[in-house]
Structure formats: structure tokens, C-alpha cells
Amino acid sequence: MTIGAIIGKEYEQQYFDDYSYFCDFISEKLTEQPIFSEVEKQEINLIMAYIKECGTYAQKFYSGKKSENNVDMEKIAYVNDNLYDRICDKIGRLHKENGEPMPYEKNDDIVR
């Protein structure tokens, strides 16, 4: 394996770790907000869990753990906008009603 391939694998792993982190972050921060009902919080958790699951599935595929012959193309990447739109609507509502950005502390483990 070349150094480029090794670096590529490390970067790929870091990307998926960061992706998972931000899926969890968005889910946690939105569901902490009192403006959302329990039903809305469940919806947020379900949507973000599915988006994260698609990322995990893609990671398994690209790392060779999923065969090309047995791949679900719908899970390689969630490409429809409707779930993203729902989450963006929740973030927009939070900003409109709260006026403050989501609380965030820098995570030094995230590669920027």
C-alpha cells in the first residue's frame, strides 16, 4: 500500500467520524430545545439517525466491507432533499424563535 493510499484511508476514516459527530450534534442540540414538541423531537432523532445510517453504510461500501453486487444505492448517500429540508426548517425555526445560534464548543478532534 502506498503512502497516498494510507493517507487516503486515514482521511476517509476521519471524514466519516466527523460526519457521525455532526449528525449526533445536530440531533442532540435540536432536541434540547424547548420549542420543539416531543413528536418533533422524535422526528428529528429519526431523520438524523437515518442520515447518519446512510453515512455509515457508505463508509462500509467504500472501505470494501459491502460488495458492489449487494449494495443498496439509496443508502450510499441520501440524495433526496426532503429530510434535509425538514431539519433545515427546524434550525430556521429555532433561529427565528430563539435568535441565538446553537450552542457549540469547538471539538479539537474535528479536522478542518
Mean pLDDT of 8-30: 81
Predicted local confidence at residue 11, as pLDDT:
58
**Distance from C-alpha of 20 to C-alpha of 76, rounded to nearest angstrom:** 15
Instruction: Determine the length of the chain.
Output: 112
Mean pLDDT of 14-30: 88
The rounded mean pLDDT for the chain is 82
> Cβ(45)–Cβ(73) under 8 Å?
no
pLDDT of residue 54 exceeding 60, the answer is yes
Domain ranges of the chain: 3-98
**Distance from C-alpha of 33 to C-alpha of 78, rounded to nearest angstrom:** 26
**Distance from C-alpha of 93 to C-alpha of 3, rounded to nearest angstrom:** 46
Predicted local confidence at residue 4, as pLDDT:
45
Q: What is the pLDDT of residues 29-53, one digit of tens each?
A: 999 999 999 999 999 999 999 999 9
Predicted local confidence at residue 96, as pLDDT:
92
**Distance from C-alpha of 29 to C-alpha of 98, rounded to nearest angstrom:** 13
Predicted local confidence at residue 6, as pLDDT:
47
Mean pLDDT of 68-95: 84
Task: Please give the model's pTM, rounded to 2 decimal places.
Answer: 0.77
